[in-house]
Structure 1
Amino acid sequence: MDFTTGGRLEVRITPDDVGKRVSVRVLTGEREPAATFTDVVGVLTSWTEGTLAITRRTGEAVRLAESSLVAGKVVPAAPARRRGPAANAPELDRVVARGWPPVVGEQLGEWTLRASGGFTRRANSVLPLGDPGMDLDAALRRVIEWYAARELPAYIQVSTGAEGTQELLAAELESRGWTREVSAQIRIAALAPIADLDADTSAVTLSRRLDDTWMARYQRSAEPSPEARAVLSGGPSVWFATIAGEGGGAPAAIGRCVVDGRWAGFAAVETAPERRRQGLAKAVMTALARKALDEGASAAYLQVETDNGGANALYEGMGFTVHHVYHHWRAPREDVP
């Protein structure tokens, strides 16, 4: 990372740059005899009383003493992407939300409050894309009350790491005692290369119908609830993929795809433990990608938790790159009525 022009390090940021993406270098060791430096890149979310807070792409908040700065500058809001479809974070977040629709939704200004009986945080959290129409503290009180009335914890889904994401909101939630519990990546890819993968799709059955056989392999809902079925079946154009298991039992593999304009969203790709590493997940995704191409889609997305190493390796190998990260922030328990 180059801070220098003519050999001088300069701090070219001020508290007026809060909300901008910055790159800073800080002194982390003794100045003499050999200085140790650390570089931090992210959104400057606060600068008060001699302390800076910078939120990295991953959502991690870093606090730095102003006195430790040796260089700093504002950098472009997001680096140019070399692979994958063009999209900004708000557009992609809206598409993803349509592909995993809640049972109940209510608007609070430009925020969407979502509830689905507790089935997944995605369908039971606030999507805060814009202005809630009131000051933040009032909006948070409304959110907490709304979820408490449904006997659910209050979560807000906040994105970081791309143009148009919500690092400032994340910092505000943290300052009010909200807790970041789960982080996941939104990965994107061109759709055609997935459809062209060398995979045996002859055993894959595609259906519009969510049936009990498919649900027998789905791991996120041991006892399929009406809310789980409603979320999984919802979306603009939904397809379910199944590879049959032996003896008429649970499927060997399953998957789900939602086609929404140019986007095809993949989810619930699961394989029986004893059948893993046999190419079944790739076969499911390839068959779904071909169907999505037939419906006019050209781009693909999926969501995967950041600590799911196996899934991330699989999707990386299929050409999916990280677009941005989202996090679920939970309200302080003492604030719940």
Structure 2
Amino acid sequence: MEISATGRLVVRISAADVGKRVSVRRLDEPGGTGEKFTDTVGVLTSWDKGVLLITRRDGQSVRIPESALVAGKVVPPAPARRRGPAASYEELARVAARAWRPVESEPLGDWELRAAVQEGPREARPWGAVVGRREGFTRRANSVLPLGDPGLPLDEALTVVRQWYGDRGLPAYVQTATGAEGTQELLGAELERRGWIREVTAELWTGALAPVADRGEPGGVVLSRRADEAWLARYQRKGVSEVALQVLGSGSPRSSEAESGGGPSVWFATVPGASEGAAPAAIGRCVVDGRWAGFAAVEVDPEQRRRGLATTVMAALARRALDEGASAAWLQVETDNAGARALYAGMRFSAHHAYHHYRAPGSVENGRY
């Protein structure tokens, strides 16, 4: 906290500091006995009508009455991580976007509108008709990636976004991030003011690739360029369409792009089941993109968990990624997946930033993303 020469706490922030990272101390019980203080660090996203709004690293917003402020100051951006590969938010956001590439995209200034539309489950109507729904395969390939200025005032840009997704029969989503230098706390706060609904929060973790490769024994894992029937039999998302296969394989109908050196290289790992015809014991997916290897879809037969199969799958994929020149690794994990987080922490991965999907008010989620 900021302390004056007289030893008193001082508030050295104002509304002019909106958009900066701040550290504040507030009085929880003003005027009461046994006063209690709470410290908050995050991005000051608004200071309006006597109330501060601070967005913490995890994306949670904290409202603080101006009258409760005891001390405050502007602080430097979040300190650089002490282990693992150095990377900016923008670099990782672009790498992750290429790992879940849409079938269709369109620029809006520095924003990218992304969609991968597939036919969803058919539904019976009361009058007897059976109709199909359209849905997007994974929010990551069906949301706006806002890396900069859309070239329009925000409300106009959001109108374009809603129209673009509405034309495709999809709800409008915007993906934002928090917790690192260059992330989008201000945009997230503006979306919340406009009634956009935050549905999912996850984190992008990074780590060195070689230690992952060293953890598993070679052998027992089958690697393939494409998701075959056996791999899909273990994949948790059922009813995978051709569109989903495009996103999983490269995100683009140009299936030969990776082989020609024009895009990321995608690998699928399978540990065969215990008997012929059985679903695989474990699977995984890895996207090699320059120095980065991105892991996803690491799934294990529930009856064979805690046998190290997830580690085996990731090690096999990591060795292949090393062969292709990668040296750093990333993955995405939801904040409530305690088992996966423990596994990845044991491999010396750690959180780089959090990301969030905001859905436009009035639009209904119409599929698993």
User: Is the structural similarity TM-score above 0.5?
Assistant: yes
- Partner Cα separation in structure 2 for residue 62 and residue 172 of structure 1: 14
Distance change in 2, residues 1:132/1:160 (3 Å): same
The answer to whether residue 356 in structure 2 is matched with residue 327 in structure 1 is yes
Question: Which residue of structure 2 lines up, in the alignment, with residue 65 of structure 1?
Answer: 65
Question: Which residue of structure 2 lines up, in the alignment, with residue 282 of structure 1?
Answer: 311
TM-score (norm 2): 0.88
Question: Which residue of structure 1 lines up, in the alignment, with residue 90 of structure 2?
Answer: 90
> 1:208 deviation in Å?
1.1
> 1:13 deviation in Å?
0.5
The answer to whether residue 183 in structure 2 is matched with residue 155 in structure 1 is no
Residue aligned with 1:70, SS:
strand
Among 307, 314, 323, which residue is 1:294 paired with?
A: 323
Question: Which residue of structure 1 lines up, in the alignment, with residue 242 of structure 2?
Answer: 226
> 1:194 deviation in Å?
0.9
- Partner Cα separation in structure 1 for residue 31 and residue 340 of structure 2: 44
Question: Which residue of structure 2 lines up, in the alignment, with residue 260 of structure 1?
Answer: 289
Opposite residue 231 of structure 1, the aligned amino acid is V
The answer to whether residue 188 in structure 2 is matched with residue 189 in structure 1 is no
- Partner Cα separation in structure 2 for residue 125 and residue 256 of structure 1: 21
CA deviation vs aligned residue, 1:32-62 (integer Å, no higher than 9, x gap): 5321000111000000111100000010111
- Partner Cα separation in structure 1 for residue 16 and residue 319 of structure 2: 50
Question: Which residue of structure 2 lines up, in the alignment, with residue 122 of structure 1?
Answer: 140
- Partner Cα separation in structure 2 for residue 276 and residue 3 of structure 1: 50
> 1:105 deviation in Å?
0.9
- Partner Cα separation in structure 1 for residue 294 and residue 363 of structure 2: 37
Residue aligned with 1:316, SS:
helix
CA deviation vs aligned residue, 1:89-124 (integer Å, no higher than 9, x gap): 111100110111011111111111111121111111
> 1:201 deviation in Å?
3.4
Percent sequence identity is 66
> 1:287 deviation in Å?
0.7
Structure 1 runs of 4+ off > 6 angstroms?
A: none
1:271–1:280: 8 Å Cα contact kept in structure 2?
Answer: yes
* Count of aligned residue pairs for this structure pair: 333
- Partner Cα separation in structure 2 for residue 331 and residue 80 of structure 1: 33
Distance change in 2, residues 1:15/1:30 (3 Å): closer
Question: Which residue of structure 2 lines up, in the alignment, with residue 25 of structure 1?
Answer: 25
2:89–2:182: 8 Å Cα contact kept in structure 1?
Answer: yes
Distance change in 2, residues 1:139/1:319 (3 Å): same
- Partner Cα separation in structure 2 for residue 77 and residue 185 of structure 1: 18
Unaligned runs of 5+ in 1: none
TM-score (norm 1): 0.96
- Partner Cα separation in structure 1 for residue 176 and residue 83 of structure 2: 24
Greater mean deviation of Cα atoms: 326-335 or 92-101: 326-335
- Partner Cα separation in structure 2 for residue 335 and residue 255 of structure 1: 31
2:30–2:68: 8 Å Cα contact kept in structure 1?
Answer: no
Opposite residue 215 of structure 1, the aligned amino acid is L
Opposite residue 48 of structure 1, the aligned amino acid is D
